């Protein structure tokens, strides 16, 4: 089980200075032993990477369908 904290918006320094489209993804807290163990797992890393890639693709597909791209 993963505690989803939801999507947040804000003027994060790493995003404000970007001169391109950017997304900041927080995958867990290294200070939490259970989350740190999950983050070390190659299968969990793969799951995260696939989830992020799918989300980005879905975002662009939705914009294409709405005629925004």
Domain ranges of the chain: 38-69
pTM listed for this prediction = 0.69
Query: What average pLDDT does the segment 54-66 reach?
Result: 86
Express each pLDDT in 4-57 by its tens digit.
Answer: 777 777 777 778 888 887 888 889 999 999 999 999 999 999 999 999 999 999
Supply the DSSP symbol for 31. Answer: T
Q: Which helix (H) or strand (E) holds 42?
A: helix 42-66
pLDDT, greater one: 1 or 20: 20
In the predicted model, is pLDDT for residue 69 greater than 70? Answer: no
Q: How far is the C-alpha of 44 from the C-alpha of 54, rounded, in Å? A: 15
Query: What average pLDDT does the segment 59-68 reach?
Result: 80
Each as own residue / partner, the long-range contacts of residues 55-61 (CB below 8 Å, 24 or more positions apart, any chain) are: 56/23
């Amino acid at each position: 089980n993963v505690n989803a904290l939801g999507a947040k918006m804000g003027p994060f320094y790493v995003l404000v200075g970007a001169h391109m489209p950017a997304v900041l993804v927080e995958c867990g807290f290294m200070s939490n032993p259970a989350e740190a163990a999950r983050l070390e797992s190659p299968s969990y890393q793969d799951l995260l990477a696939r989830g992020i890639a799918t989300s980005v693709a879905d975002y662009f597909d939705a914009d294409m369908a709405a005629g925004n791209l």
